[in-house]
Structure 1
Amino acid sequence: MKLNPTTEKFVLHWGEMGSKWGVNRTVAQIHALLFITGKPMNADEIMETLGIARSNVSNSIKELQSLNLVQTTHILGDRKDYFTTSGDVWELAKVIVEERYRRELAPTVQFLEELTKTPEFELENEAVQKRIKDTHQFVSTLTTWANEMLKLSTNTLNKILKLGATVQKFLK
């Protein structure tokens, strides 16, 4: 499949951003391709469109599936696996936040909880103890807030995000 210039720029940019977000560039490009085209694609189509090796497509798809960003589907009369992703950018953002929470924040919260319960923690000076407790409180508050936000409808979440700093007037 030959990409139009705008689509190609989107896919290339998403790949560059992926590497800044800690995701392999090819993984991000495949996700961008599936998102922007909005149609199921098989490995051969992805390989041909992006000019990458089959093994790279296969490994990248596995990573995207482990992140819950890509699903496998089938087309009647075709034995190949086809891959899709959500076309709703809000839904994708929610999946990404949930996965990052599960992989990054949840283990940190658990680690900090366990750390504060160790005998060694009690032997630390007060400044270190306070910083660790403050970090635990911050990460716990952040994760509670993120989990609450994920429960909201897209429409409500959109309105909250558009409020930005003006939310302060409701807190006074």
Structure 2
Amino acid sequence: MPLSPLSPTTQKFVLHWGEMGSRWGVNRTVAQIHALVFCSPSPVNAEEIADTLEVARSNVSNSLKELQAWGLLRVVHLPADRRDHFVAHQDIWEIFRVVMDERKKRELDPTLQVLRECAAESAQDGALDASTRQKMEGMLEFMEIFMRAYDDFKQLPTPTLKRLLKAGGSIAQFLGPDKKAAKR
């Protein structure tokens, strides 16, 4: 049985979350299920999800497993109901952290590994142009700085992270202009 009919706003949100997910490399149905469970005021079971989104039960089952693997959903049990029900993290900051960690593991960590391998191999590659080597080294330096900053930021408590992000350009003004960059 489907959940009570979704409001137009909830339906718009669920559909858009699916679109955004597909742009980020996440299966559209996986993202829609996450949005639906996130918005639900109570735990939902797989049959309700399948009926509400009008997708195959097997697709829902696989999507739920993926969302659980990411740590975005968890199983809860209701009295007198043997089925698994699902709830989503409700803290948007925690959701953001989970998604960023997964993206880092899947995309950035392998890229950093390849860049490090290229840097190590470049000294023995006689056919490698010096300007290409310099570009690769610059990319490696950028990625290492970015990854260290990410690791530092992800450890911050949510209130501190909020203040930091709200400060935005004020931090750059506080730090002042980069004298080396101004000379270039």
Measured against the shorter chain, the TM-score band is: over 0.9
Q: CA RMSD in A?
A: 1.6
Q: Does the alignment pair 1:115 with 2:118?
A: yes
The 8 Å contact of residues 69 and 95 in structure 1, kept in 2 or not, is answered as yes
Please name the residue that 1:75 is paired with: 78
From 22, 26, 49, give the equivalent of 1:23: 26
Q: CA–CA distance in 2 between the matches of 1:139 and 1:38?
A: 40
Q: Does the alignment pair 1:137 with 2:141?
A: yes
The 8 Å contact of residues 122 and 133 in structure 2, kept in 1 or not, is answered as no
Deviation (angstroms), 1:27:
0.8
Please name the residue that 1:153 is paired with: 157
- CA 1:43/1:117 → structure 2, altered by over 3 Å: closer, same or farther? same
Secondary structure at the aligned position of 1:35 is classed as helix
Q: CA–CA distance in 2 between the matches of 1:165 and 1:26?
A: 37
Alignment of 1:84-95 (within 5 A): 84-95=87-98
More deviation in 101-110 or 70-79?
70-79
Deviation (angstroms), 1:63:
2.0
The 8 Å contact of residues 74 and 88 in structure 2, kept in 1 or not, is answered as yes
Q: CA–CA distance in 2 between the matches of 1:53 and 1:44?
A: 9
Q: CA–CA distance in 2 between the matches of 1:68 and 1:130?
A: 39
More deviation in 96-105 or 61-70?
61-70
Q: Does the alignment pair 1:101 with 2:110?
A: no
Q: CA–CA distance in 2 between the matches of 1:163 and 1:54?
A: 45
The 8 Å contact of residues 43 and 57 in structure 1, kept in 2 or not, is answered as yes
Please name the residue that 2:172 is paired with: 168
Q: Which runs of 5+ in 2 are unaligned?
A: 177-184
Amino acid corresponding to residue 22 of structure 2 in structure 1: S
Q: CA–CA distance in 2 between the matches of 1:21 and 1:169?
A: 32
Q: CA–CA distance in 1 between the matches of 2:172 and 2:53?
A: 46
Q: CA–CA distance in 2 between the matches of 1:51 and 1:100?
A: 28
